[in-house]
A and B are shown apart, each in its own frame.
Chain A
Amino acid sequence: MKGEEFPAADPSQDYSIVARGLLKSFGKLKALNDLSVRMPRGTTYCLLGPNGSGKTTFIRAVAGLLRLDGGDLSVLGEPVHSVNRVYPRIGYMTQHKALYPDLTLRENMEFYAGLYGIEGWERDERISELLEMVDLADHIDRITGALSGGMYQRLSLACTLIHDPDLLLLDEPTVGVDPILREAFWRFFDGLAERGATILITTHLMDEAERCKIVGYMRAGRMLAEGSPEDLKRLAGLRPILRLWVKDPQASASSLAADGLEVEVVGGVLQVRIEEHGRLKEILEGVEPSDLRLVEPSLADAFLRLSEGGSR
């Protein structure tokens, strides 16, 4: 399954990133192996995948920091070899913090603002707005080196956003950020996307990927699956699971399996994969559970299933 096979994109929609057949090797390692992907403008796009699957390589290629071995790549309408023309419109947050520990938060932000030619009251306003968003406004005159890891991460994000970029490249932006603040980040990202910005995020966190409009699952330098989180779950053929607490799970499991149902016993709990909701009543009457719970499949399940498929 490759990117191109996914629901045909609306041709009227414009794309911030269009990649076709990207190739990049580091020695024997094929970091990008015929990767094709299109990212529509005004969307949040999440790249998921195990370590070494090529996520960071792809982001660096988009940032113009790599020489590709082959393929076509355009970023904000510019071919990648002249991507520097659109640098003022790109915000790039690496896995490194890229902050000066001996400067205050304000000075760090002023420095990055200066690189983009943002000055005067506009700069000051922007700085306080962003520090408010990352919940660091009270620390504006503290020395950056004294911040905790999570605070560093937040300041780094604020610096990346200083020039209100049209394309945000965020390499694992929410590492070390607590769930409440992460929620705030996501609201902010959604707001940016609504205003037309494209946000490309890499993450390991499935619950975070679920917040994106489009999720791409990479493996060994290829796009294994792509779509909305719901699309992907459907694609993986996942159905809800019914967890049943019964007196004798093994006996119940045998009888349900004899009826042709997909069952297993996990930790003393009987799990039945629901095929058709019509059989629900039949199941419940057969085993008389003391308690039950219906579990929707997660994106993680979907990727596990897809990975198995991909490696076969």
Chain B
Amino acid sequence: MMGPKINSRRVLVVARRVVRQLKRDRRTIGLITLAPVFLMILFGYALSGEMAGINLGVVDLGGQDALRDHLATVDDFDLLRLGSESDAERLIVEGRLHGAVVIRGEEVRVLLDGSSPQITASIMTEVKNGLLPLKGLQNGGRMDVGGELEDVEGGWLGGDGIVGGSSGPGGLGSDGDIGICAALGGYGGPGAAPEVVQRYIRGYDLEMMDSVGPAVLGLVVFFFTFITAAISFLRERTQGSLEKFMVSPLSRPEMVAGYLLGFSLFALLQSATTLLVVVLAFGVPMEGSPLTAFGVILLLGAGGLVLGAFLSNFAKTEFQVVQFIPIVILPQVVLSGVWWPLESIPAFLQPISYALPLTYSSDALRAVMLKGAGISEILVPDLLFLVGFFVLAFGAATLMLKREVG
């Protein structure tokens, strides 16, 4: 019915109204900006935070008094003094210890049950802290949590052998029982530096937050734009303004585009805050360009918005919008490789995975943030799919508005 021409003035009128409305709705602004930050902090601590009640064995064969004393002061640790490394190993295998520290002169060996990244991180952090005072803090003070995690992960992720404390690109850790050695570098005292060797007794390890963080970032932004857009469009319908638009010069694409523009302001804010939390507070690497990551998140957010606009047609009340969460959001949480690799998803479910936008945003964000990929490297298939998804959902949203007439 409407011509395809889009009048940018009218788009701006709608966008301005959306911004004005949201500006006044403090709770929704809170939901849009602070809730993702809060969620990311929760995820961050849950996935990489320190743990209480860690059973740690200590095999003290002399030396490194400061480390031994420090470990005794850590509230989270329940220490068990052991006579030999093999005892410690046995107890770890039996699952009675989360890890053990073997101190032998200048050598510190850390035995780890690598199945829990949080515990691994916690133990490694404290071992490092215990060694710090000795080394005279040549780096100028205690390192922040993020820095420590990066150091540790540099060691784990860098592959075999002894690696200095620089942070390395993401990837899986070593496989199986073969221990990797990591010397803590960066503290610099020549000759005097105790060598810290990590040894995984079982399982392998990866810094979960590093791998999950970029993907969760997309999930959180998608979720909030989807929900807010679906409810906003539902309101347009229930309060009668949609019908009024139909009898006005405002065309359907103009309306959806106006919403997109108005919301993008808040999506920008949301993406920026969430991205900052993930990178700064939790030390998830940002190897590639933050702008590229930003672009991926915004593209996904735009897709979430138009999908929300489209699906709002199938809801009569806000209550019914909430019912979309298990239908639209949960499958993406489970099937799009946010938490575990796509390869581990059963083959008969994989086609669904490859139809979900979050699969592609997770892949793209990991590539950009962990591997430093540029736009050209994530163009196919990630960006193409996300753009395609957006265009499709945009078209569906405007067509559904048209179907209102009947």
Given A65-B246, A84-B2, A97-B239: A102 touches B16 (CB 8 Å cut-off):
no
Partner of A63, one of B20, B25, B239, B247: B247
Report chain A residues within 8 Å CB of B404.
65
| Complex interface: stretch among A88-96, A176-184, A234-242 | A88-96
Which residue of chain A has the shortest Cβ distance to B13 in the bound complex?
Answer: A114
Given A67-B406, A102-B24: A115 touches B239 (CB 8 Å cut-off):
no
Report chain B residues within 8 Å CB of A143.
24
Report chain B residues within 8 Å CB of A88.
248-249
Contact yes or no, B249 A116, CB < 8 A: yes
Given A65-B247, A98-B240, A115-B249: A107 touches B17 (CB 8 Å cut-off):
yes
Which residue of chain B has the shortest Cβ distance to A84 in the bound complex?
Answer: B1
Q: How far is the CB of A94 from chain B (nearest CB, A)?
A: 5
Flag whether B10 is at the interface (Cβ < 8 A).
yes
Contact yes or no, A114 B239, CB < 8 A: no
A230 to B132 alpha-carbon distance, docked (Å):
101
Contact yes or no, B16 A114, CB < 8 A: yes
Contact yes or no, A90 B13, CB < 8 A: no
- Which among B10, B21, B238, B247 has the highest number of chain A CB atoms within 10 Å? B247
Report chain A residues within 8 Å CB of B248.
87-88, 92, 112, 115-116
Per DSSP, are chain B's interface residues mostly helix, strand or loop, or mixed?
Answer: helix
Contact yes or no, B249 A98, CB < 8 A: no
Q: How far is the CB of B389 from chain A (nearest CB, A)?
A: 29
Which residue of chain B has the shortest Cβ distance to A92 in the bound complex?
Answer: B247
A112 to B239 alpha-carbon distance, docked (Å):
15
Report chain B residues within 8 Å CB of A64.
1, 246-247, 405
A97 to B188 alpha-carbon distance, docked (Å):
72
Q: How far is the CB of A159 from chain B (nearest CB, A)?
A: 8
Interface residues of A in 67-124 (CB under 8 A from B): 67, 84, 87-88, 90, 92, 94-100, 102-103, 107, 111-112, 114-117
Contact yes or no, A115 B245, CB < 8 A: yes
Report chain A residues within 8 Å CB of B249.
87-88, 115-117
Contact yes or no, B21 A103, CB < 8 A: yes
A208 to B404 alpha-carbon distance, docked (Å):
32
Report chain A residues within 8 Å CB of B240.
94-98
Flag whether B134 is at the interface (Cβ < 8 A).
no
Flag whether A66 is at the interface (Cβ < 8 A).
yes
Report chain B residues within 8 Å CB of A87.
247-249
Given A65-B405, A66-B406: A111 touches B17 (CB 8 Å cut-off):
yes
Which residue of chain A has the shortest Cβ distance to B25 in the bound complex?
Answer: A102
Interface residues of A in 136-195 (CB under 8 A from B): 143, 169
Which residue of chain A has the shortest Cβ distance to B9 in the bound complex?
Answer: A117
Pairs across A and B, CB under 8 Å, 7 listed = A84-B2, A95-B240, A96-B243, A102-B24, A103-B21, A107-B17, A115-B249
6 A-B pairs with least C-beta separation: A96-B240, A114-B13, A98-B240, A92-B247, A98-B241, A98-B244
| Residues of B participating in the A interface, judged by any CB pair closer than 8 Å | 1-2, 9-10, 12-13, 16-17, 20-21, 24-25, 238-241, 243-250, 404-406
Q: A67-B406, A94-B240, A98-B244 are in contact. List 9 more A-B contacts (CB 8 A).
A: A88-B248, A90-B247, A92-B248, A94-B243, A100-B239, A102-B25, A114-B10, A115-B10, A117-B249
